[in-house]
Structure 1
């Protein structure tokens, strides 16, 4: 039987609608890679860091991955296809256009970590071929959709830590059968954990949330610390920790008690008032008598009132007996000398362990009785300068979160660090062990840190930091770090916290590295940002920290020395400072390296520009995103020494030429004088931009080496 004309027309109409509906998708899929990247860029705010994302007449319709195409920052290519986007730490905001990402059939990895994205989590679950998503350190909020993991069977790594996500963890995670790493820590997730984890899961972290209930048996293969800082999440319910909230009941009980107490107080007052009125026949009441009644009421409070703590309990007036962040505050403020030591301090007085006796032998009581001032605070805690009765000045650091190792392992490591001897290291003098807090004692270095000299008040010390002196500092830092990479080769990262705040300057400007060798002692789950090595790109992308993270840190310090700029990499929120890695890499690639250098040294040492450029190249090689392309520490140190030796030879040649020409002032001396004059005359901006100024006002760690 032939179909009726009406039915045939209806089928044609349905087919036409289907074709029309598919046209937008087809158009989207037909976008070139360059067009898709430009569409993605349009969805961002503050995208100036992606200035290399542009379609030039030279490139035409070529893919960013085509041979000869200009570099598109953060775009990873494999066999001519876009396979990854590494856009972490670029201060990007706005939204993330998932439709544009869907235009890349070969896309396997995206990293938007440490940016300023906010709002609901983008629909990344539509990108079913993705293997890695790194979205840490943003402000994504709201809940994860229940079906988020349903079609992500290829996903291996998902990092959502350090956001503001809430709601429950979707049970659909079990459908992500290839998932190896899932990091959800430092959010606001609530509810219970799913019954079972994904079958292939190897790395898991939900610490720092608001989860409750009992940890399911299938999750107990992970370390207990991965579940920490969840008040109502536990392994076994007990009377003290029932694993369940009782807020509603508790609040109701408090309200009942408060109402009852209020009524009872009112009744007592009314009774007293009525009794007073009835006992006085006259309408005129004696005021003194009434006052006596009221005084009696104050002296004998009702028994149901909370009894205040006794004022006879001993209080410590010792600065060391107070918690960090107490009334001492921050900055240079004197603390009173300790007249008495509380009972706890007295019991601990003999527990100071000397590991380096170059400043003599002293005890905890000597420190507690010392006049002290706060000189800074950082990721590990606060630091104090303490001048003991014998005149010896030391720095005492109150370190938190150094509880990764056992007490025996901690003591063995401190003795090892204290015994180290190198011209560019400042080892600890002593330590005091407490379970929740450790005290580390160092020699006090008056000149302070390289960070302070470069970015502080810019006085005489900054004026003395000319080109030869900066070479000396660079060589000393490289030598000290290279020594650590030999002496502590067994550590996952030998220094671990190399930054200009942890480079102190001796009176002759010889650099002294502090706070090294702590990688095995610090609990990075509790204090993830306390060590600068963990901000290397590979660590942000989720890989374990390794020795080449120190090389990245060395590169940042070299860039800081050469540019005189405050690195944005030192700031947790990346607001302020200068992204030295991006700036230096782009300028070197474009041939504008001269714009990078600190005007204070360029103006007075113009002949040294080729040497400055060679040292800048070493720094840029040290901060490469791909750690395989970075030199190891031994090679990096050798290159720094080689450049410095050649540069100083050039300085000496210029000096000899000036002397031979009968100059009244040697070339070196003239350069030093003009450098000092440059600083003195205020030709340099005291602080380079508003972002740096505001960031430094909120920073307390640059006056001395504070972790």
Structure 2
């Protein structure tokens, strides 16, 4: 037995190398390659890397006292990413350099980090071609984010060899050529706005069409590829064929002249028999929609099905005060892709009569019966509240459903928090964010009263499902749809199922689960940080954002966590801190200790835009309701570990 242990230790030394350098020394060597590294000023060899789940050095990810990742995001860093140094860290599993100022080529020898599971390089200024073997041998890699750079050339074929890859983001670059033959199961990918061409690999046919927009790609889910061009005919053959054709023409021309009069009569008769444009409107309409790219995202065979399945192919209106239109009007409308999520794709359709509506296409409701679906949609359509996006109409077939809503002028809350603002459009200030969260709370309250027997009155509350009207008043969207969703899809993709209780109790969700989602939304609203776990498929909590906030404020309640765009409001930090504590109380992992919705709403409703220079210590007692831990070490996971 003792020799077995010794042999095991020797093997570990071989696998992980025999370098005497400590992790701290390696990281400090790595730091030397960076420019503008002021954000890493607390990297100090005299300070331990980790304490429990907290990284003592900025940007370090830790778990149970062990360092496993780097998250050096939005720090203004530039220079060179020293892969040689990082490759000496055997337990490094994830690295993120997103939202910095790195430029130049893709970091060389990246595949030396063979144990890496996630690589995030999006939103920098990298350029040039990526070597085909850049990812060769990185067999544990699950997530690769290269979007919003200036990469050129072909997409590396070595990505196709990453059997565990589940998330690939390559949008907004200058990649050319074909997409490699990616065959990974359940891969989420984004290729938008490159210079790609040719057929889409069959394994990606279930991806939304918006994932391939801005290229010259074909095949499902885009339009069919044109038939292959015939091989060019040799010039000699063309000359011979032309000579033969001329000879034949001379032989038959006299015969044609003899029948000229009869042929003319026949031609006139045939012209009279041609169907009019009106009788061929069906065919003309299909061509308009699909050749002119004006479709609402429905494949041609699906559109044919919609036209031929009366009475199923009929829009059913549930909003009485809206202008009526037909399905054909909707399909003829000029359309714009708004987004694509796990539940379906959304489109803005501008009807010929004027109003703009949003069409959302669902494929994951195939297990619900027609009578049940109709009744539930009518119940949703009966709701009327200023903070709920009203359902206008719906369409039903067994395979898929369409829900039509009013169009919200200012898009989603997520777009305002996480995207670059449009010209002359300022970032959301504190008063606006406070009004938004108060409106969200009131909308949730109305849903809870309207559906007293529904376990999850919302079930999918996240920033992309909070829309903003022309006055920036919030409108909750995608509410009340959990009973209609296929269970397997709901368990994997809907936000409620990413709560702690979903992982711990076999999906036994309660009405407090929506409160958890409200808490995550509050933290996202205040920090401006995206809750990365919403990107995950399957189980897992939103521990990432909640625990980050917890780690910052654990020792002392501080405004360090707040989004810089919100800090400009004078004398408001006290109220911001109050909302922060409300968010943490809503994110309590123990459901019994978590606030219920009524308590959260009451606290939110009492918030003000400013504190009038109140003493900030006056609300320190509120922290008694807040658990500084809220989770066990066993329950805690980072999303970026994959």
- TM (norm. structure 1) is 0.48
Describe how 1:434-473 pairs up with structure 2 within 5 A.
438-444=401-407, 455=421, 470-473=433-436
Partner of 2:242: 269
Mapped to 1, the partners of 2:287 and 2:360 lie a distance apart of 9
Deviation at 1:82, TM superposition (A): 1.7
Mapped to 2, the partners of 1:404 and 1:495 lie a distance apart of 15
Partner of 2:192: none
Change (3 A) 1:84 1:550: farther
Partner of 2:326: 364
Change (3 A) 1:183 1:259: same
SS across alignment from 1:205: coil
SS across alignment from 1:51: helix
SS across alignment from 1:476: helix
Deviation at 1:642, TM superposition (A): 1.0
Mapped to 2, the partners of 1:538 and 1:591 lie a distance apart of 29
Change (3 A) 1:545 1:158: farther
Mapped to 2, the partners of 1:585 and 1:367 lie a distance apart of 51
Q: Which has the higher contact order (CA 8 A, sep 6+)?
A: 1
SS across alignment from 1:259: coil
Determine if the alignment matches structure 1 residue 205 to structure 2 residue 165.
Answer: no
Structure 2 contact 132–157 (Cα < 8 Å) conserved: yes
Deviations 1:531-586 (A, max 9, x none): 889999999xxx999999977875675467658x79798999xxxxxx99999889
Structure 2 contact 334–350 (Cα < 8 Å) conserved: yes
Determine if the alignment matches structure 1 residue 76 to structure 2 residue 62.
Answer: yes
Partner of 2:579: 615
Deviation at 1:397, TM superposition (A): 0.9
Determine if the alignment matches structure 1 residue 406 to structure 2 residue 366.
Answer: yes
Partner of 1:499: 463
Deviation at 1:395, TM superposition (A): 1.4
Determine if the alignment matches structure 1 residue 38 to structure 2 residue 1.
Answer: no
Deviations 1:67-92 (A, max 9, x none): 998454342142xx425326397799
Deviations 1:222-246 (A, max 9, x none): xxxx994489xxxxxxxxxxxxxxx
Higher Rg: 1
Partner of 1:684: none
Change (3 A) 1:449 1:264: same
Mapped to 2, the partners of 1:96 and 1:640 lie a distance apart of 49
Mapped to 1, the partners of 2:81 and 2:473 lie a distance apart of 48
Structure 1 contact 134–158 (Cα < 8 Å) conserved: yes
Deviations 1:328-357 (A, max 9, x none): 899xxxxxxxxxx99963755762353734
Describe how 1:250-289 pairs up with structure 2 within 5 A.
254-255=230-231, 258-259=232-233, 264-271=237-244
Which of 87, 91, 95 matches 2:71? 87
Structure 1 contact 366–388 (Cα < 8 Å) conserved: no
Change (3 A) 1:99 1:403: same
Aligned length: 482
Unaligned runs of 5+ in 2: 1-13, 100-105, 123-129, 147-154, 170-178, 190-200, 207-226, 252-256, 258-274, 298-302, 536-543, 615-642
Describe how 1:119-134 pairs up with structure 2 within 5 A.
122-125=111-114, 133-134=117-118
SS across alignment from 2:402: strand
Mapped to 1, the partners of 2:88 and 2:581 lie a distance apart of 37
Deviation at 1:499, TM superposition (A): 1.7
Partner of 1:676: none
Determine if the alignment matches structure 1 residue 110 to structure 2 residue 110.
Answer: no
Mapped to 2, the partners of 1:534 and 1:118 lie a distance apart of 37
Change (3 A) 1:74 1:536: farther
Mapped to 1, the partners of 2:52 and 2:415 lie a distance apart of 46
Mapped to 2, the partners of 1:170 and 1:369 lie a distance apart of 40
Which of 377, 399, 417 matches 2:338? 377
SS across alignment from 2:66: strand
Structure 2 contact 462–517 (Cα < 8 Å) conserved: yes
Change (3 A) 1:141 1:534: farther
Mapped to 2, the partners of 1:517 and 1:84 lie a distance apart of 39
Determine if the alignment matches structure 1 residue 416 to structure 2 residue 354.
Answer: no
Deviation at 1:268, TM superposition (A): 3.5
Partner of 2:313: 351
Mapped to 1, the partners of 2:131 and 2:514 lie a distance apart of 30
Deviations 1:267-320 (A, max 9, x none): 2334567899x99xxxxxxxxxxxx9xxxxxxxxxxxxxxxxx99754567699
Which of 428, 433, 439 matches 1:476? 439
Deviations 1:83-122 (A, max 9, x none): 5326397799965747656556xx4x72347959766653
Mapped to 1, the partners of 2:35 and 2:586 lie a distance apart of 27
Deviations 1:173-216 (A, max 9, x none): 9xxxxxxxx4457697759x9xxxxxxxxxx836589xxxxxxx
RMSD of aligned Cα (Å) = 6.7
Change (3 A) 1:267 1:533: farther
- TM (norm. structure 2) is 0.52
Structure 2 contact 468–474 (Cα < 8 Å) conserved: yes
Deviation at 1:513, TM superposition (A): 0.5
Describe how 1:489-528 pairs up with structure 2 within 5 A.
494-496=458-460, 498-499=462-463, 502-505=466-469, 510-516=473-479
Structure 1 contact 500–557 (Cα < 8 Å) conserved: no
Structure 2 contact 49–56 (Cα < 8 Å) conserved: no
